[in-house]
Structure 1
Amino acid sequence: MIERLLPAYVACSDTHETDAPEGSLYPEEVRQVASSVDRRRHEFAAVRACARKAMADLGLPPAPVLSGHRGMPRWPEGTVGSMTHCEGYRAAVLARTSDARAVGIDAEPNAPLPPDVWEVISLPSERARRPLGADSGTVHWDRLLFSAKESVFKTWFPLTRIELDFSEADIVFRASPDSATEGTFTAELLRVAPGMPSAYEGRWLVDDGFAVTAIVLPATPFV
C-alpha cells in the first residue's frame, strides 16, 4: 500500500503480518528491545523484516537498523528511510541519498482520534477547515492529520535534530479529482531551520482500514 504514495526510486516493503521471528533480528537489535514487552519486540522485529526487504530491493546487503534518539532509525551509510507500525500494518521505505534527502512515512488506523488528542495536535486553522466528505466517515480527517504531522516530523528530525511540535506545521489536504480517499497535502512549517524548506509536499491514502501518509524531500539542495 505504501508504494502507491512514493516515487519508483524509493524501495518499499509493507505487511499486515503483525509478528516476525525474533530470531531474524541482529544481536544488537535484540539488545535494544531485551527489556520490552512481547508486543513491542514483535512489532520491532516485523518492521525490521520490512526494512531488510527494502534494502534488498536497493541491492544492499542486510544490516541491523538500530533506534537512535526519539526512535529515529539509523540506516546504512548512503541511505535515508522511514518506518511505521500500527495495529495490523508495518512498513519500511528506503532510498539512496543520491535520490532523496529524507523520507517520512506514517500509518494509522482510519478511526477517530480521542477528542482530547485532536485538540492537542491541531491548529485553529486546521480545525476550521471542512474537507469535502468530512462527515461521511470514509476518511477520518483528524486521524489523517495526525499521520501527516508524524510524517513531517520523521522527515524533519533526521536533518535538523530539532524537536518539532504538532503546532509547528499547518497541514492543508487536497483530495484527488478521481478519488475521495487519496490525494496530496502541503505542510507549511511554522519553524525555521537552516537549509530546510518552508513547506513540504506529501501524499495521502485511506484504504483497507488505514490512513497512510508520505513525504519525500528530493536530493536537490534547497536554496
Structure 2
Amino acid sequence: MIDSVLPPEVSGVSVFGDLSPADGHGLFPAEVATIARSVPKRRAEFTTVRLCARRALDKLGVPLVPLVPGKRGAVAWPAGVTGSMTHCTGFRAAAVARSDVAASLGIDAEQNQPLPEGILEVISLPRERAAIAALARQRPDVHWDRLLFSAKESVYKTWYPLTRRELDFTDAELQFDLGASTFSARLLAPGPEVAGHRHATFSGRWTAGHGFVLTAIVLPAEATRPTAVRPEQSLEFSATPARIRHAQTASQHDTE
C-alpha cells in the first residue's frame, strides 16, 4: 500500500499487522537492547517496522545496519541513504531512497478515523479547516481531519532531519488536490536550506483505503547536502493516542 504514494525510485515496504523475526532477518543485538524493557505491543511494532525497513533497503542493494532510535527518535540510516518509518495500529511501513535521489523523505500512516475532539483546532489553520470541510462533502469516506494530521506528520518527518528544529503543526499550511491525490505544504517558518537552496514548500501524495490513510513526501535531491546535519538520519514515529494528546496540550509533534 505504501508504494501507491511513493515514486518508483523510492523503495517502500508495508504490511498489515505484525511480522515475527523469523519472517525477516531478525533484529540486531543493539535493536534488541533498545526494546528489552518494552511492552509486547511496542516490541512488535518496533520489530515489524524494522523488518519492513530491511526489506526496503535490500531492494536498494544496501547492506543492513542496526536502526536504533537516537535523540528525538532520529534513526541513523546506512551511509548514502535517507528513509522514514511509520506504524499505527494494524499497519507498519518503511521507505528508503539513496541520498542522491532524495534529500529527505517522510511517510505517515493513520487509521481512517476522526481525530479526538478538540485536536483539529490545535493542529490546523482556519483555511485548512474550511478546505477539508468542503473535501469531506465530496469524499465522505475519508476522515479529512485525520488525513490532514497525517500529512502534517509527513511534513515534520521531512523537515526535522534537515533542520534539527521543531515545527509547530500550524507552521505549515496544507492544500489537498482531490483528483490528483496530492497535497502541498507551504512552510510558514524558514524552510530547510539544502546546498544553498531554501525550500519554502513541500509536495506529497496521499491515499485512503483498507481502513487507513497514508501520506508521503519525497524532497528531491537536486542538491542533497545540507550543511551541518546528516540527511541519513530521520525520525521514526508512532501514531499513538499519547502523541495526539500531546498535540492537544503542546501543539507540537512528538517522537517515540
TM-score (norm: length of structure 2): 0.81
Letter in 2 for 1:67: P
Cα distance in 2 for residues equivalent to 1:70 and 1:20:
26
Aligned residues: 217
Q: Which residue of 1 aligns with 2:35?
A: 33
1:83-162 alignment to 2 at 5 Å?
Answer: 83-129=85-131, 130-134=133-137, 137-162=140-165
Q: Which residue of 2 aligns with 1:69?
A: 71
Segments of 5+ residues of structure 1 without an aligned counterpart are 178-182
Please report the RMSD computed on the Cα atoms of aligned residues, expressed in angstroms: 1.7
| Closer/same/farther in 2, CA of residues 168 and 25 from structure 1, 3 Å limit | same
Letter in 1 for 2:190: V
Letter in 2 for 1:119: E
- 147-156 or 58-67, larger mean C-alpha shift: 58-67
User: By how many angstroms is 1:135 displaced?
Assistant: 7.0
Cα distance in 2 for residues equivalent to 1:56 and 1:147:
27
User: By how many angstroms is 1:132 displaced?
Assistant: 3.1
- 112-121 or 96-105, larger mean C-alpha shift: 112-121
Secondary structure of the 1:176 match is coil
Segments of 5+ residues of structure 2 without an aligned counterpart are 225-256
Deviations 1:36-67 (Å, cap 9, x if unpaired)? 21111110000000000011100112221111
Cα distance in 2 for residues equivalent to 1:142 and 1:77:
36
Cα distance in 1 for residues equivalent to 2:123 and 2:186:
15
Contact 1:134 1:141 in 2 (8 A): no
- 122-131 or 104-113, larger mean C-alpha shift: 122-131
Deviations 1:86-105 (Å, cap 9, x if unpaired)? 11110001000111101100
Cα distance in 2 for residues equivalent to 1:19 and 1:194:
36
Identity %: 51
Secondary structure of the 2:54 match is helix
| Closer/same/farther in 2, CA of residues 164 and 31 from structure 1, 3 Å limit | same
Cα distance in 2 for residues equivalent to 1:119 and 1:20:
39
Contact 2:20 2:47 in 1 (8 A): yes
Contact 1:81 1:102 in 2 (8 A): yes
Greater relative contact order (CA < 8 Å, ≥ 6 in sequence): 2
User: By how many angstroms is 1:193 displaced?
Assistant: 3.9
Secondary structure of the 2:129 match is helix
Q: Which residue of 2 aligns with 1:4?
A: 4
Deviations 1:6-33 (Å, cap 9, x if unpaired)? 1111111110132433981111111112
- 110-119 or 65-74, larger mean C-alpha shift: 65-74
Give structure 1 regions of 4+ aligned residues with deviation exceeding 6 angstroms: none
Deviations 1:154-174 (Å, cap 9, x if unpaired)? 000001000111010111111
Cα distance in 1 for residues equivalent to 2:68 and 2:113:
30
- 116-125 or 199-208, larger mean C-alpha shift: 116-125
| Closer/same/farther in 2, CA of residues 118 and 7 from structure 1, 3 Å limit | same
Secondary structure of the 1:9 match is coil
Letter in 2 for 1:201: S
Contact 2:162 2:192 in 1 (8 A): no
Secondary structure of the 1:91 match is strand
